[in-house]
Amino acid sequence: MANDRAANNDRTQSAQVKKNTRAEEWLRNAVRDKHVRMIQFSEISKVKYNVAKGGSGTIHLGAWRNMHIAIKEQHNTNDLIKELKMHKQVHDSNYIVKFFGITKHPLTQDTCIVMQFAENGCLQDYLETHNIAITWLTKYRLAWEISSGLDFIHRENIFHTDLHSRNILIDTHGKALITDFGLSKS
């Protein structure tokens, strides 16, 4: 009985190693073929570590090419690749957080997604801090931007499956941007 469990654990670990190896190979090929930009971590300045933590990773902040950026450190390579594929598919929308490339965390060596930083945070926090000052016209515009982003995603045959007020960010101009494609399905 114990031998059966040990054999099952060995097979599971072996399958996971193969899956991770394939995922890492896909990532190397995507960078080599210029489907995904590799940003050297040394190009990123003013890094603030561990600003937020989500279900699939840790968020850091920084600056790159005179822009504020978010750096999403993914702990699972397969989840990272899934999110990268989704971002590449929907990058043309004005209502989705912009994806710039990937980088390697200098300490953990985890691959990180480099994306647009939304200065006003998530929709939930934005509404809580600005609720009285937000006009109906602004609420209507935010709803329209969210539905436009969602429409774009659906036309690409992607289903977000985790859309809520923490996965909608507000940029410096007050525009709504959909983010976090980690649980999306296509």
For the annotated catalytic residues, the residue numbers are: 162
Q: Where in the chain is the domain with CATH 3.30.200.20?
A: 2-116
CA atoms within 13 A on the CB side of 152: 19
Confidence of residue 2 (pLDDT cuts 50, 70, 90): low
State what percent of residues in the chain have pLDDT above 90.
47
Q: How many CB atoms lie within 10 A of CB 80?
A: 23
pTM: 0.82
Scored b (16 or more CB within 10 A) or e, 105-123 reads beeeebbbbbbbbbebebb
Residue 51 vs residues 58, 122, 149: alpha-carbon distances, Å: 8, 13, 26
Report the CATH fold assignment for 2-116: Phosphorylase Kinase; domain 1 (3.30.200)
Q: What is the mean pLDDT of residues 4-11?
A: 56
Question: CA 66 → CA 46, 49, 81, 181, distances in Å?
Answer: 11, 19, 27, 26
Structure confidence at residue 19 as a pLDDT band (50, 70, 90): low
